[in-house]
């Protein structure tokens, strides 16, 4: 295989908040990228990707349905690496968990991994979530929740927390597949991803920030472990793909913090907004930890500070007219 052929990779969910940044950084590094979208005719998915530097020569867009194996295989064919980001993120308004979340997350992941194995892909980076780590109410209170902690599926199902359930089941299925087939899989578990927005839509994490700025006092007990810059998440994906020493799961947060800590910092930095007072201890049983992402740090990764994450996120929301 030529040197150029060694740098052809597939990014599923390439039009999303993290996916767009990942495609951008891969193109900057000279990769050829097969980016998948749900609808090639939808400019909200395609236009911002086609405008990226290097897209003319280095980007190919593929329309896929995660539940249609043939479309998935067509996007992965000819690549040597896969970044699997595509998975629905619906935290509320879940009426049909199987159709809305579980099937696309679990069966979609299986289709991607099967296609990767069949196409001779060298390594797959699977984007999981902190939602596959928490909620975990029975975890020891004096032990930080890191990569060895898993979300409690029974608790999720009993409380209708279908997003964490979908991410947990999909990640476990990925590990089972890797063990059975020998496919080289590494996993990243990002926290609340914020920062400059490339697509013309807002992701769930940035919507959370908008709600906070507009005065919402929600506490996100089961959906929070700390913030992380979107560019850091994209860079961490590339590090995990390129570094042979990377293995297993990788928590990806600036630090493990409570939502109350984050809200207080937003209020301090932007007193002009009516940010509500939120109790500091919003995540019962979550131990704060400055080195929560020690596995990534040990690979040489440096995280953007919470202050900079907030600044970049708020300025992007302002610039795009989501807040004034």
Helices within the chain (DSSP H only): 17-28, 43-50, 55-58, 69-76, 97, 103-118, 153-158, 162-181, 204-213, 230-242, 259-269, 294-298, 306-319
Strands (E), 192-245: 192-194, 227-229
- Alpha-carbon span 128 to 105, nearest angstrom: 10
Give the three-state DSSP class for 320: coil
pTM of the predicted protein model: 0.95
Tokens of 84: 């699997």
Residue 2 has pLDDT above 60, yes or no: no
Domain ranges of the chain: 8-193+229-254+290-303
pLDDT per residue as tens digits for the range 214-240: 999 888 888 899 999 999 999 999 999
How much is the mean pLDDT over the chain? 94
- 8-193+229-254+290-303 architecture in CATH? 3-Layer(aba) Sandwich (3.40)
pLDDT per residue as tens digits for the range 53-110: 999 999 999 999 999 999 999 999 999 999 999 876 655 566 677 777 788 889 999 9
Positions marked catalytic: 167
pLDDT per residue as tens digits for the range 150-203: 999 999 999 989 889 999 999 999 999 999 999 999 999 999 999 999 999 999
pLDDT band at 1 (very low <50, low <70, confident <90, very high): very low
Residue 4 has pLDDT above 60, yes or no: no
**In this structure, how many other beta carbons lie within 10 angstroms of the beta carbon of residue 76?**
29
β partners of residue 84 = 12, 126
């Amino acid at each position: 295989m030529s040197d150029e052929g060694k740098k052809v990779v597939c990014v599923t969910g390439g039009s999303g908040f993290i996916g767009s940044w990942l495609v951008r950084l891969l193109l900057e590094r000279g990769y050829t990228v097969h980016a998948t979208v749900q609808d090639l005719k939808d400019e909200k998915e395609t236009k911002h990707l086609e405008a990226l530097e290097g897209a003319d020569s280095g980007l190919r867009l593929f329309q896929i349905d995660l539940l249609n194996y043939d479309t998935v295989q067509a996007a992965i064919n000819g690549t040597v690496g896969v970044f699997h980001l595509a998975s629905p993120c619906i935290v509320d308004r879940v009426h049909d968990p199987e159709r809305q979340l579980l099937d696309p997350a679990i069966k979609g992941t299986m289709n991607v991994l099967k296609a990767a194995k069949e196409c001779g892909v060298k390594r797959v980076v699977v984007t999981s979530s902190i939602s596959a780590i928490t909620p975990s109410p029975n975890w020891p209170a004096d032990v930080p929740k890191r990569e060895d902690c898993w979300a409690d599926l029974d608790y999720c199902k009993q409380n209708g927390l279908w997003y964490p359930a979908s991410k947990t089941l999909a990640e476990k299925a990925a590990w089972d597949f890797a063990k059975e087939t020998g496919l080289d899989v590494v996993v990243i578990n990002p926290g609340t991803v914020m920062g400059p927005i490339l697509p013309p839509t807002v992701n769930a994490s940035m919507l959370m920030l908008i709600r906070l700025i507009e005065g919402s006092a929600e506490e996100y007990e089961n959906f929070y472990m700390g913030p992380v810059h979107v560019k850091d998440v994209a860079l961490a994906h590339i590090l995990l793909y390129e570094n042979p020493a990377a293995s297993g799961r990788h928590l990806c947060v600036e630090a493990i913090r409570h939502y109350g800590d984050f809200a207080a910092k937003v209020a301090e930095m932007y007193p002009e907004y009516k940010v509500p007072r939120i109790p500091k201890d919003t995540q019962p049983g979550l131990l704060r930890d400055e080195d929560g992402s020690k596995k990534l740090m040990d690979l040489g990764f440096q995280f953007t500070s919470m202050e900079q994450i907030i600044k970049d996120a708020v300025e992007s929301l302002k610039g795009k007219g989501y807040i004034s």
